[in-house]
């Protein structure tokens, strides 16, 4: 192997740049040429590809977003798009590809692998719903950002004696909301994975009021039904809960900012390991962080199903909210 | 004067605790007893009042929110409520009151003054719309919080090549949005004080795309009509702008967090000056920071009209967005 | 078991308060009384012990330091001191004790265990040198703090084209310096566990200059010999290195601040697990986070020797500095 | 005027990049060519000069340091160096120059002016010791950084019941230490401008202990004699003060980081005003922020003497430390 490529795909997060940097530097250290593919699979199809050297990734370990850009590429879902992508890879002499992204992006990587192209995936999504790794790149920094926002809202909630609904990202997965709830000291967490009635929610608020709490924070995953706004509307009809209710949807700030130390280290380890896997011929795999060490999992298994939420965490959130 | 009171009223912000601390410590330094009134005018009416000493405010200079709590009090708008408040002040032997709050709260202070009670106001609102001061307590820290959020969203916007609408607080005033736009490097700012057509907005986005910008950020004040969500809907119908559009409403995070150095210093100066004004018999005034020094303005003037936005700032935002 | 105690001992760090909170809330959830011991073993000897309820730990998950205080207690190293401590425990009816601290503090816990008292330890030290856990409480937040400082110094180093020596804590362990070096993007890391000659250091600086880097950052562990200041002196005699040299000793800022999300979650898990261990009769153990789950290790083993540094990390630092 | 230049000189700070950005964009807006001079006067002498466009300064409003680099240039202090600098300016067709820097750099600007070259200065130094402006670029962000560090050290100080000496920058000026002391809630501030005996310092510590404070923080300016380390040594001989003593020298972190909102706005205003001044023929001036508006001061006056410290601030620090 003499020339590898790297791309970032899907939603961005703060761990992408540290990971790109690690792929580039490990590649160079192993005497490979490293080609950066811009705008994910879309750029791969269009041949937006450039050689990268050590200085190109200088200083980016502390920069949010992705210097390679990212995009969603409907074209790549079709066989025709994949053919174009393979043609680009061949045209630029790329013999192995590192794909950094979430479930959708890794499914794309699997498609390339199934065409016989050597590819290694790195799990990167703040939702932490990729199988085959205990934690994905971006999760830890997103949790820090959310915890900071929850802390800020707690200031206001306490000053005014209010209940707050705070919506985090997570369309299919409650991980982000659940851990945010624990580390933000929330009274309740609402996630797709757990059933709860309106009455139970209302009682939690009333109960917090009665027990003398100065606020009541409820963290709501984006994917929880019927959704934060619908809940807020119903709660506002109830004037007997003690606290009046306000809402904040954290939105896209959750994806931004520079990576924290944990994500920088994780991204660096994964990036280096992905290059090593390509060199070793361990392609068709995803690099994961499992039980405190790097572990490879076949891409098929990684994307086969969504990672299950740890039940203990939900219980922990409940215990800590007393 | 032997005994003074202090209360925080209206929306909270990070400068309140440093200001309470300054009132308490300056009061004690001047051999006064200082009484903390809980929950603004509501607590004043209800007699939720306690003596405070130097240790009670230890460590709060770096704590968000207000240790005294705050509330809105419809009762206090009526003469009956004001009579109850005066009765509480007399009952606790309070001879002068420091009111920390925005336009509404300072109007309340004026009511007490018109009943003959010695009161001094301190402007505190992230909207920076109080007359008689160049800047109110809380503005600077809110701007830091918003700038940080805009920086984060810029990471995502750049990675995905998107346009973002970001809504800040400011129901009647565009100050927060305008300055956030300048310091966040936004391409456009939408505020109640400035007319703009939909076409002009659309052109700004298209223009940013054509000039090769990697994103287009538009900061929208809460009070701008027809509002961020309505704008987003119309923009999404336009597929010819180059960038696709996303929205984030920053919400209550803007009020939280610990005060930055500027707000701590401003709040400390204003708190100390307010106590001095009570001692000097300069009551019925609001303490302002005008032309880099403390200046007193009669409460009547301070609340008479809303502070006008500086035209130069809007021009500066425009120039810097090229 | 009806009544348990909790104390923090040794150097403080941001994870202590979240951990105290978790012990208290898990204890209450399990219908135990929880007694807070102030100032570590010193306060235990002196009987500075008070009952804690859920509200006492409200809001502390985001507060730096330890609300229980901490201290070093030479008296407790003597049998006489330990007898006094046991007497205090009996006097307050405490039947099990959670000790949160580093190697020294856990050795103290072992002493109590050897007297037959049920005790469970929780590893807490920014040095990450406690055996029996992959990571101790406080490490992750300290790394974030250091990474942020290194980022800031990098701004200055790049602006002036300088080499910087940055000293982190770590008297016996290079973990903090090593990982800081990786996540801060340092050109070199100097730690007690690795030999290096002065010439190799000088060459690294010169090499960075020649390769066109705009700065050269070297992270130095406090325990590295002959020490950062001695190195700086020698480097200043060398005017042929391309970069002039500056130093910053990060000092006590590394211990402060509020815990990040990772430490809050880890501390919460460990605190809850420690209470469960006491209830289950699993005393004489230390709660560790091993391979992504809670694991108990006998205190004897935990304190028997200092945790070894992962060789792969040093190699990773070297590869990434190209 | 068709072509202007801009350089940053002296110590760096977070406001430099926002200021460079403002000069470039205002210049372009006024249909000027803007040339960036690298490495201050050294680069001016060497002709390290390049044209800049709007995209070159895209995204730098939130980046620490200076993209132009900075340096100290002994050669420029000599007439020969200044002649070379003028020759470079002519060679590149630069008709007006914006110099961003502190007292030394502005004295350099004055030299160019005295050679008849149109130059406008912008005060930039975290020491805030430049005459002709209420506040210089970089001061506010440095204060935020220091306040954050002091907050962190306070966590540790309180947990251990200790006294801490914290050294800030400020070789000739106590402004940074003084305001840091106020906003960090320090018990005492030691600055070159104020005399104090060792006994008074020792009493302050003892007094804080006796009054029940949980810590004693003393902020020391770098330029205070006999210096923090000498003081610490003497204090350690005194075991009767209640608190044991620790030290932290904040060092170069004070210069780094991204600019806060205040500095971004100030730098933007000053940068735009400097370009306007060149266009208007108001050269030989320094742009200042005086009484809440832009004001020009002749460079001679600006550098004639060092700005005096506001006595009220020292008094405020004392009152607030009770």
pLDDT band at D72 (very low <50, low <70, confident <90, very high): confident
Q: What is the 3-state secondary structure (H, E, C) of chain B?
A: CCEEEEEECCCCCCCHHHHHHHHHHHHHHCCCEEEEECCHHHHHHHCCEEEECHHHHCCHHHCCCCCCCCCCCHHHHCHHHHHHHHHHHHHCCCCEEEEEECHHHHHHHHHHHHCCCCEEEEEECCCCCCCCCCCCECHHHHHHHHHHHHHHHHHHHHHHCEEEEEEECCCCCCHHHHHHHHHHCCCEEECCCCCCCHHHHHHHHHHHHHCCCCCEEEEEECCCCCCHHHHHHHHHCCCCCCCEEEEEECHHHHHCCCCCHHHHHHHHHHHHHHHHHHHCCCCCEEEEEECCEEEEEEHHHHHHCCCCCCHHHHHHHHHHCC
Which H helix or E strand runs over D140?
helix D139-160
Q: Choose, out of D19, D48, D73, D155, the residue to mutate when testing the contact with C (most C CBs < 10 Å).
A: D155
Active site residues of B: 127
Q: What's the Cα-to-Cα distance from A22 to each of A34, A271, B239, rounded to whole Å?
A: 11, 5, 37
Instruction: Please check whether residue D129 is in contact with residue D307, taking contact to mean a CB–CB distance below 8 angstroms.
Output: yes
pLDDT digits (tens, 9 = 90+) for C102-130: 999 999 999 999 999 999 999 999 999 99
B252: closest CA among B64, B73, B79?
Answer: B64
Q: Report which DSSP code applies to A166.
A: E
The rounded distance, in Å, linking the Cα atoms of D88 and D66 is: 21
Using CA atoms, how far apart are residues B94 and B2, in angstroms rounded to an integer?
Answer: 8
Element (H, E) at A142: helix A139-160
Q: Provide the pLDDT for residue B164.
A: 98
What integer pLDDT is reported at residue A42 of this predicted model?
Answer: 98
A322 contact C CB<8A: yes
- What are the strands of the beta sheet with B216-221, ordered from one edge? B188-190, B216-221, B162-168, B244-249
Which residue of B26, B179, B316 is in closest CB contact with D272?
Answer: B316
Residue A98 and residue A104: Cα distance in Å, rounded? Answer: 15
Prior bond to C150 cis, omega within 30? no
DSSP C31: T
CA–CA separation, D12 vs A219, rounded Å? 42
Contact present, D19 and D81 (Cβ < 8 Å): no
A28 touches chain B (CB under 8 A): no
Bridge pairing between strands C162-168 and C244-249 = parallel
Percent of chain B with pLDDT over 90: 98
What is chain D's mean pLDDT, rounded?
Answer: 97
Instruction: Look at residue B163 and tell me whether its pLDDT is greater than 90.
Output: yes
Quote the pLDDT of residue C68: 98
Kindly state whether B228 is in contact with chain A, defined as any CB-CB distance less than 8 angstroms.
no
Exposure string over B220-229, b if 16+ CB within 10 A, otherwise e: bbbbbeeebe
As a whole number, mean pLDDT of residues D195-215 equals: 96
Give Cβ neighbours of residue B314 (< 8 Å, ≥ 6 apart).
Answer: B178, B189, B191, B193, B194
Give residue-wise pLDDT tens across range A61-92.
Answer: 999 999 999 998 999 999 999 999 999 999 99
pTM (two decimals): 0.97
Is C143 in contact with A261 (Cβ distance < 8 A)? yes
Contact B70 A160 (CB under 8 A): yes
Structure tokens at C216: 């050269």
Can you spell out the DSSP letters for A273-321?
A: HHHHHHHTT--SEEEEEETTEEEEEEHHHHHHSPPPP-HHHHHHHHHHT
**What is the spatial distance between Cα C276 and Cα B84, in angstroms, rounded to a whole number?**
53
User: In this predicted model, what pLDDT tens digit does every residue of A241-258 receive, in sequence order?
Assistant: 999 999 999 999 999 999
Instruction: Give CA–CA dist B235/B311, Å, rounded.
Output: 27
Find the closest chain C residue to A273 by CA distance: C316
CA distances for C242 relative to A58, C161, D41, D68, angstroms: 19, 9, 19, 19
B180-195: per-residue pLDDT in tens? 999 999 999 999 999 9
Q: Which pLDDT score, from 0 to 100, does residue B109 have?
A: 98
Listed by number, the residues of chain C in 202-221 with a beta carbon closer than 8 Å to a beta carbon of chain A are 211-214
Query: Which chains are adjacent to chain C, needing at least 3 Cβ pairs under 8 Å?
Result: A, D
CB of C223 less than 8 A from some CB of D: no
Burial class (CB in 10 A: 0-12, 13-18, 19+), B34: buried
Percent of chain A with pLDDT over 90: 98
Per residue, the 3-state secondary structure of B119-188, as one string, reads EEEEEECCCCCCCCCCCCECHHHHHHHHHHHHHHHHHHHHHHCEEEEEEECCCCCCHHHHHHHHHHCCCE
Residue D74 token pair: 């002994």
Identify whether C226 is preceded by a cis peptide bond (ω within 30 of 0). yes
Task: From residue D123, give the alpha-carbon distance in Å to each of D101, D110, D134.
Answer: 5, 13, 10
User: Closest to A70 (Cβ–Cβ): which among B63, B160, B247?
Assistant: B160
H-helix or E-strand containing A103?
A: helix A103-114
Residue D57, burial from CB neighbour count under 10 angstroms (0-12, 13-18, 19+): buried
Whether the Cβ atoms of residue B248 and residue A251 lie closer than 8 Å to each other: yes
| pLDDT at residue C322, as a whole number | 86
What is the number of residues in chain B?
322
Q: Which of B55, B144, B292 sits opposite D134 (nearest CB)?
A: B292
Separation in Å, CA B135 to CA B131, B292, D129: 9, 10, 23
pLDDT at D34: 98
Supply the residues of C annotated as catalytic.
Answer: 127
Answer whether A184 touches B (CB < 8 Å). no
Q: In what order do the strands lie in the sheet with C216-221?
A: C188-190, C216-221, C162-168, C244-249
pLDDT for position A165: 98
| Lookup result for tokens 């108001």 | D282
Within its chain, how far is the Cα of D83 from the centroid?
A: 28
Residue D207 appears among annotated catalytic residues: no
**Looking at chain C from residue 79 to 118, which residues have their Cβ under 8 Å from any Cβ of chain D?**
none
% of chain B beyond a pLDDT of 70: 100
CB A4 within 8 A of CB A97: yes
Strands (E), chain C: 3-8, 33-37, 49-52, 96-101, 119-123, 162-168, 188-190, 216-221, 244-249, 285-290, 293-298
Confidence of residue C29 (pLDDT cuts 50, 70, 90): very high
CA-closest candidate to residue A18, choices A274, A256, A254, A268: A268
Tell me the shortest Cα–Cα distance from C280 to chain D, in angstroms: 31
Walk me through the domains of chain C, giving residue ranges and CATH numbers. Answer: 3-138+259-304 (3.40.50.450), 141-255 (3.40.50.460)
Given the structure tokens 């074209």, which residue do they identify? Answer: A75
Q: How far apart are CA A185 and CA B34, in angstroms?
A: 33
Q: Which pLDDT does position B289 carry in this prediction?
A: 98
Q: How confident is the model at residue C78 (pLDDT cuts 50, 70, 90)?
A: very high
Q: Which residue has the tokens 């903390």?
A: B36
**CB distance from C187 to chain A under 8 Å?**
no
CB contact under 8 A, D320 and B268: yes
pLDDT of B239 strictly over 90: no
Confidence (pLDDT) at A322: 86
In angstroms, the CA A44 to CA A66 distance is 16
> H or E element: which one contains D166?
strand D162-168
Partnered with residue D286 across adjacent β-strands are: D121, D297
Question: pLDDT class for C315, splitting at 50, 70, 90?
Answer: very high
**Which strands make up the sheet holding D216-221, listed edge to edge?**
D188-190, D216-221, D162-168, D244-249
**pLDDT of D166 higher than 90:** yes
Run of H or E residues at A96: strand A96-101
pLDDT at residue D255 in the model: 96
Q: Do B12 and A159 touch (CB under 8 A)?
A: yes
Residue D322 reports pLDDT greater than 90? no
Q: For an interface test with D, which of B183, B272, B289 has the most D Cβ atoms less than 10 Å from its Cβ?
A: B183
Q: What is the arithmetic mean of pLDDT over D130-139?
A: 98
Tell me the HSE value of B177 on the side-chain side, using a 13 A CA sphere: 31
Q: Are strands B188-190 and B216-221 parallel, antiparallel or unpaired?
A: parallel
Q: How confident is the model at residue C97 (pLDDT cuts 50, 70, 90)?
A: very high
CB-closest option in A66, A152, A255 to B253: A152
Interface subset of B 244-263, CB within 8 angstroms of D: 258, 260-262
Contact assessment for residue B288 and residue B123, using Cβ atoms and an 8 Å cutoff: yes
For residue C63, the chain A residue with the least C-alpha distance is: A151
**DSSP-based three-state secondary structure for C309:** coil
Predicted confidence (pLDDT) at residue A239 exceeds the cutoff of 90: no
* CA atoms lying within 13 Å on the CB side of residue B147: 25
Closest-CA residue of D relative to C167 is D251
Measured CA to CA in angstroms, residue D22 lies from D94, D269, D293 at distances of 18, 8, 17
Mutate to test the interface with C, among A261, A264, A276 (most CBs of C within 10 A): A261
- In order of A3, A177, B56, B214, D201, the CA distances from B153 in angstroms are 34, 20, 39, 13, 48
Per-residue pLDDT tens digits for A172-200 = 999 999 999 999 999 999 999 999 999 99
Which residue(s) pair with A7 in the sheet? A99
Q: What are phi and psi of D216, to 5 degrees?
A: -140, 115
Interface of C with A in 141-180 (CB under 8 A): 143-144, 146-147, 151, 154, 158, 179-180
In three-state secondary structure terms, A84 is: helix
Arithmetic mean of pLDDT, D31-58: 97
The structure tokens 């070379």 sit at D84
């Amino acid at each position: 192997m003499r020339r590898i490529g790297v791309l970032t795909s899907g939603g961005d997060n703060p761990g992408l740049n540290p990971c790109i940097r690690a792929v580039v530097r490990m590649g160079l250290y192993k005497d490979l040429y490293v080609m950066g593919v811009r705008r994910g699979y879309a750029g791969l199809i269009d041949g937006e590809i450039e050689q990268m050297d050590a200085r190109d990734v200088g200083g980016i370990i502390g920069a949010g977003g992705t210097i390679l850009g990212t995009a969603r590429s409907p074209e790549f879902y079709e066989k025709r798009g994949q053919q174009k992508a393979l043609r680009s890879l061949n045209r630029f002499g790329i013999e192995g590809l590192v794909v950094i992204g979430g479930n959708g992006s890794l499914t794309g990587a699997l498609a390339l692998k199934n065409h016989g192209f050597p590819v290694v995936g790195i799990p990167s999504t703040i939702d932490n719903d990729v199988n085959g790794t205990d934690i994905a790149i971006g999760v830890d920094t997103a949790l820090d950002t959310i915890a900071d926002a929850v802390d800020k809202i707690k200031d206001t909630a306490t000053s005014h004696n209010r209940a707050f609904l705070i919506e985090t990202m997570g369309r299919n997965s409650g991980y982000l909301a659940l851990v945010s709830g624990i580390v933000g000291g929330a009274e309740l967490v609402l996630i797709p994975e757990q059933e709860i009635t309106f009455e139970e929610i209302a009682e939690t608020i009333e109960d917090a009021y009665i027990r003398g709490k100065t606020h009541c924070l409820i963290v709501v995953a984006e994917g929880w039904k019927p959704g934060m706004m619908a809940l807020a509307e119903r709660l506002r009809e109830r004037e007997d809960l003690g606290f009046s209710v306000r809402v904040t949807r954290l939105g896209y700030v959750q994806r931004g900012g520079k990576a924290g130390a944990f994500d920088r280290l994780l991204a660096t380890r994964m990036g280096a390991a992905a290059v090593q896997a390509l060199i070793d011929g361990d392609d068709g795999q995803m690099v994961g962080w499992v039980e405190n060490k790097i572990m490879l999992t076949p891409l098929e298994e990684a994307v086969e199903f969504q990672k299950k939420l740890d039940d203990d965490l939900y219980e922990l959130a409940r215990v800590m909210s007393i």
